[in-house]
Structure 1
Amino acid sequence: MALEADAGYEDILQFRFSDIIAKKCNGSALTSEEIRYVVQAALTGQAEESQLGALLMAIRIRGMDPKETLTLTKELVASGHVLQWPEEWNGFLVDKHSTGGVGDKVSLPLAPALAACGCKVPMISGRGLGHTGGTLDKLESLQGFSAKQSPAQMQKILQSVGCCIVGQSGDLVPADKIFYEIRDVTATVDSLPLITASVMSKKVAENVSALILDVKFGEAAQSPTIEEARILAESLVSVGVSLGTPTIALLSNMDSPIGRCVGNTLEVIEALECLEGAGSQDLRELVTRTGGHLLWLCGKADSEVQGAEAIAKALDNGSALQCFRAMLEAQGVHSDIARNLSSTSNFRKASHQQLLRVDKAGTVKMIRARPIAEILNALGAGRSRATDIINHSVGAELLVEVGQHVEKGDPWIRIHYESPPLQDKQRQSLQASISIIDCPPFTPPSRIREIITHQGKSEETGTNMRREGETS
């Protein structure tokens, strides 16, 4: 697929922006030429911020049909540069995107595990905002780590290591950055076509061979219900496939935190446990299954199951950890730190810790992720605005799991904090986030509930899916 940054802009018919706003307010579909004009007007400053805000709100209320959404995605991609890679990498360039969660450190072990299996992983990630964490914030817990890497630097790292995790550069989909900043202050972030175009434009601009999307649903997710997550996943997958990127999506539950740690430094430490073949079972499952699907999708495994086994082997034999260390060194972490990650002295610790205990015996039914994340953010772990400075050491350790039996007085969470201290109201909210019932211990279900392909949904039963174009 060839998408030139400025292709066709000189031929755009001149429109009145107010007419385009009125047309969308009336519920009519915009033409390809009108959408191209909107993107170009945003880039050149011809459209006022108030006009862009009005149009985005009209799209939020009236929606866009699949053709409009696809066109908007293409024009966002064409607003900047598309990454170019050596021809011999074709077929093995892969990436993953998550719609955001609490304790979601999957990318940290996944990227090096995929690299250890022979893939090239140019992972462009973001920062946390609101109650969801950001991959770049976690990695910056390690002194010296730099998320700012030019395309040439990315290619050099991929050549030597196989993976990199970087921030979005200014020349990659610049129009999306303009739109997103306006969406953030106009209550239009949750628009389905705008989410689709924003996510997929950045991924298509990466020029990868295969893409997997972790679309989360639940109380702590952008999509509260699995039905809403399914609609979003189908939109994302349809656009990806239509633009030439083999794409599938997993629908995964986001009611409780992933793994046992929430907070930047603590999540890096937990990711290291996963890279050493240990750690939380739900984190390992998400890493192996997500990686397994990608290995299958790009042809490095005959099935998702075989791919998951290859990812698990890379975690267990140390090859993924070796790639992770090499990636950190390539992105600015001193070799003494990168090679001694198991030493806790390499991580800043919070000055204070506080244990909370369960107030009755029983089985843990639920640990609600959202209130935990919101309280940690208030303590400094996250940001409410993009310019906020975060404290990497603030976080929480879950000392019990869903389905586990507990006795009254057992510790269930350890809060790591600096200043301000934990308040009584926050303590009460945390205690209310754990639900204990009178029933036998149980094994919680898999977080992954469905797989979405271009052909539609599939219940997640372990059945092998087929790549696009394959026949029975």
Structure 2
Amino acid sequence: MIRGVGRSDEPPPSFSAVEVVTAKRDCRELTAAQIDWVVSAYARGDVADEQMSALAMAILLNGMDAAETARWTQAMIDSGEVLDFGDVGRPLVDKHSTGGVGDKITLPLAPLVAACGAAVPQLSGRGLGHTGGTLDKLESIPGWRASLDADEITAQLADVGAVICATTPTLAPADRKLYALRDVTGTVESVPLIASSIMSKKLAEGTGGLVLDVKVGSGAFMKTRARAGELAEAMTAIGAAHGLPTTALLTDMSVPLGRCVGNALEVSESVEVLRGGGPRDVVELTVALAREMLALAGITGVDPAAVLASGEAYPVWERMIAAQGGDPSAPLPVAGHVETVTADRSGVFAGADAFAVGIAAWRLGAGRARKEDPVQAAAGIRLLAAPGDEIRPGTPLLELHTDTPERLPDARRALSGAALLVTADPPEDRELVLDVRRAG
């Protein structure tokens, strides 16, 4: 069900947009009343886009402290409604990833955590640029639908224990409007605005605990560990300020996760994981996140690694997909054109750069440049060589999949240069989980 957020009947204090912008321009802390007013007024259309653009740039340049960021988050929550799932018979716990290449973890993770006894209300989004979207991946399954209303989500949580669906339009509408503005004004990178954007939607979902997967590396939005740590600290602080137990894992995104990048390809790989197989890194990260989610849910005595390896989570996946109209046994789309990229020299394959692979998959049709662009279900990249493999000229390194072969040259160009790294010596073992951050 959806409930209101209990706003006061008293009219809020009124400010001018210029007053708020100049306060942050001059590095002053915004008051709670100023934040409440400007977010509400922008959502209503009383603050113009150019004024909010100026404020977003001032925040990007001068920052917000923890108290300001927590209040900004609450103001965005207050712009819409809050989901209330009531008692679904299990503890509620959710996960959010900041986005990466080959990051299919939500697909096996939600049914795994449900198989271990928790309920996972995973409201997800679509891909943009080089990062993939969970909904785009699942929509490659025949019949599956992303849009559910609050009652459908609640019923599925009680029955199956897991739901992956689109965010309802009533959740934090001010954030949706502001995000679109930030996307075209060069202010996406602001840590307080990223943190409040993510956390406002997660808090409005009404979950009981949240695990954050904060990506670090070339394929992530946060390229350095320091920046990723700053974002993780900001989000866990917001969780603490709002009484939501929150844990953040910093995880490596210098190379793609798993062997597949692209919508149907990643679904296929996720099914392998749910059946007890799949790439080692996907299994490792799925289990690491599941452990943290179960800890926040208060579930002990269950080993998610053993549950995943046994295949016990796969029937939950089947039920979750079927509950949303999908056919889990139906064949997935297959690309009409597949081209193999081979090595041009001998050595040891050290890996594929995540950003380059993400761009190439996007060029093949797996991603979109604008939110309204369509995606190809079957487009993407399958990695054939693993880091550490001995190769020689002609060794297959990866496959390019697309339904539009005219896209192949652009994808090949994205993978030129140092994107496919061949070295004389084997690469060092990759550390997947780099750090764990908790509030306090």
Amino acid at match of 2:322: E
Letter in 1 for 2:318: R
SS state at 1:34 partner: helix
Whether the 8 Å CA contact 2:363–2:411 is kept in 1: the answer is no
Q: Give the corresponding residue for 1:374.
A: 359
Q: Would you say the 8 A contact 2:156–2:162 is kept in 1?
A: yes
Unaligned segments of structure 1, at least 5 residues: 456-472
Aligned equivalent of 1:319, options 312, 323, 330: 312
Aligned to 1:79: 79
**Residue of structure 2 equivalent to 1:166:** 165
Q: How do 1:134-173 and structure 2 match up within 5 A?
A: 134-173=133-172
Give the CA deviation at 1:423. Answer: 4.6
Greater displacement, 239-248 / 420-429: 420-429
Which residue matches 1:26? 26
| Mapping for residues 17-416 of structure 1, pairs under 5 Å | 17-87=17-87, 89=89, 92-301=91-300, 310-333=303-326, 337-338=327-328, 340=329, 346-416=331-401
Is the Cα contact below 8 Å between 2:88 and 2:157 reproduced in 1? no
The range that moved more, 289-298 or 257-266, is 289-298
Deviates more, 1:346-355 or 1:101-110: 346-355
**Structure 1 position 448 matched with structure 2 position 429:** no
Q: Go from structure 1 to structure 2 and tell me whether the alpha carbon gap of 1:291 and 1:453 turns closer, same or farther (over 3 Å shift).
A: same
User: For 1:60, what is the secondary structure of its paired residue?
Assistant: helix
| TM-score, with structure 2 as normaliser | 0.96
Equivalent residue letter for 1:59: I
Give 1:354 deviation, angstroms: 0.6
1:101-146 deviation digits (Å, cap 9, x = unpaired): 0000000000000111111100010100011000000000012111
Instruction: Give 3-state SS (helix, strand or coil) of 1:64's partner.
Output: coil
CA contact (8 A) 1:9 1:36 kept: no
| Partner SS state of residue 399, structure 2 | strand
Percentage of matched positions with identical amino acids: 38
Confirm or deny that 1:438 pairs with 2:424.
Answer: yes
1:89 Cα offset (Å): 4.4
Q: Match for 1:262: what amino acid?
A: V
In 2, Cα distance between equivalents of 1:420 and 1:190? 34
Moved more, 243-252 or 368-377: 368-377
Q: Any conservation in 1 of the 2:338–2:400 contact (CA below 8 Å)?
A: yes
* 8 Å contact kept, 2:361–2:411: no
Give how far 1:294 is off: 1.0
**Which residue in 1 is equivalent to 2:10?**
10
Q: 1:11 aligns to what SS in structure 2?
A: coil
SS of corresponding position for 1:153? helix
**Consecutive unaligned residues in structure 2, runs of 5 or more:** none
Using the TM superposition, give the Cα deviation of residue 67 of structure 1 relative to its aligned residue in structure 2, in angstroms.
0.8
Deviation at 1:315, TM superposition (A): 1.9
Contact 1:104 1:133 in 2 (8 A): yes
- Assess, with a 3 A threshold, how the Cα gap between structure 1 residues 9 and 200 changes in structure 2: closer, same or farther: farther
Counterpart residue identity of residue 337, structure 2? H
Report the Cα distance in structure 1 between the residues aligned to 2:416 and 2:181, rounded to whole angstroms.
37
Partner secondary structure for residue 251 of structure 1: strand
Displacement after TM superposition at 1:25 (Å): 1.1
Specify the alignment match of 2:403 in structure 1.
Answer: 418
My pick for the range that moved more, 224-233 or 360-369, is 360-369
Partners of 1:39 and 1:358 in 2: CA distance:
53
- Distance of 2:145 and 2:13 partners within structure 1: 43
Deviation string 1:231-262 (CA, Å, 9 cap, x unpaired) is: 11011111112211111111111111100000
Distance 1:207 1:289 in 2: 23
- Cα pair 1:124 1:166 within 8 Å, conserved: yes
Cα deviation, 1:250-296, whole Å, max 9, x if unaligned, reads 11111111000000010000000000010100000010111011112
Closer/same/farther in 2, CA of residues 202 and 434 from structure 1, 3 Å limit: same
How far is the alpha carbon of 1:422 from its aligned partner? Answer: 4.7
Cα distance between partner residues in 2 of 1:44 and 1:362: 60
Q: CA deviation at 1:6?
A: 5.1
Q: Measure, in 1, the Cα distance between the counterparts of 2:32 and 2:378.
A: 48
TM-score, normalized by length of structure 1? 0.89
Structure 2 contact 110–163 (Cα < 8 Å) conserved: yes
Q: 1:443: Cα distance to partner?
A: 6.2
**Contact map agreement 1:39 1:75 (CA 8 A) in 2:** yes
Contact map agreement 1:94 1:210 (CA 8 A) in 2: yes
Aligned pairs, number: 437
